[in-house]
Amino acid sequence: MTRIGFIRHGSTAWNKAGRAQGHTNIPLDEEGVNQAQKLAERLSKEQWDVIYSSDLTRARQTAEAVHKKLGDIPIFFDERLREAGGGLMEGTTEAERIEKWGSDWRNLDLKRETKESVEARGLPAIEEMLKKHPGQNILLVSHGAFNRHLLNKLVPVNEGHGPLNNTSVTKILLTADQWDCELFNCTHHLEVVLEEE
């Protein structure tokens, strides 16, 4: 059995402002750093063999916090695991998009990356992970839309459950060529108070 733990990065200032991030390289904010530390503490009590992460700063910082706590396991950064590109809407809020393009902005060609494009780069990356790490537990640290698109493709039972939370853990298990979801959008680690707080 091979397990993949899909992790969404910690929070950023743009998350709080409701700004579309896409490929824009935004770092974690103070809360996001704290969330990543709590996530790392949680995952250190589980068995993980390797970490793959988007190369964008917010995901990289989250993955590095986990890696530091987990110790001597490999970590790889892959641009194919980046967030879905936001095109012309990156950096804008909903209100700004309505002001600029009107309330029908979702139906305009704003050069946003399609779900199919995200799948076309994300699925081969996952296939490579499965070939390199059969029977292992793989952490994949990425982004909300990226994770949602890939999860909906692999385990469509979770489609329509809304956005994934910052530092949420979703675990899927591959047995006999069939993916099953073990855990979805779990953030119970954020309820834990760390000693340094």
Active site residues: 9, 83
Q: Is 15 annotated as a binding residue?
A: yes
Q: In what order do the strands lie in the sheet with 2-8?
A: 75-77, 50-53, 137-142, 2-8, 169-175, 178-186
In contact, 91 and 26? CB cutoff 8 Å:
no
Report how far residue 175's alpha carbon sits from residue 155's, in angstroms, rounded to the nearest whole number. 13
Q: Is 3 annotated as a binding residue?
A: no
Q: Is 5 annotated as a binding residue?
A: no
Q: Is 145 annotated as a binding residue?
A: no
Q: Is 14 annotated as a binding residue?
A: yes
Q: Is 107 annotated as a binding residue?
A: no
In contact, 167 and 78? CB cutoff 8 Å:
no
DSSP 115-126: HHHHHHHHHHHH
SS3 174: strand
Q: Is 2 annotated as a binding residue?
A: no
Report how far residue 129's alpha carbon sits from residue 112's, in angstroms, rounded to the nearest whole number. 27
Annotated binding site for substrate: 8-15, 58
Annotated binding site: 8-15, 58
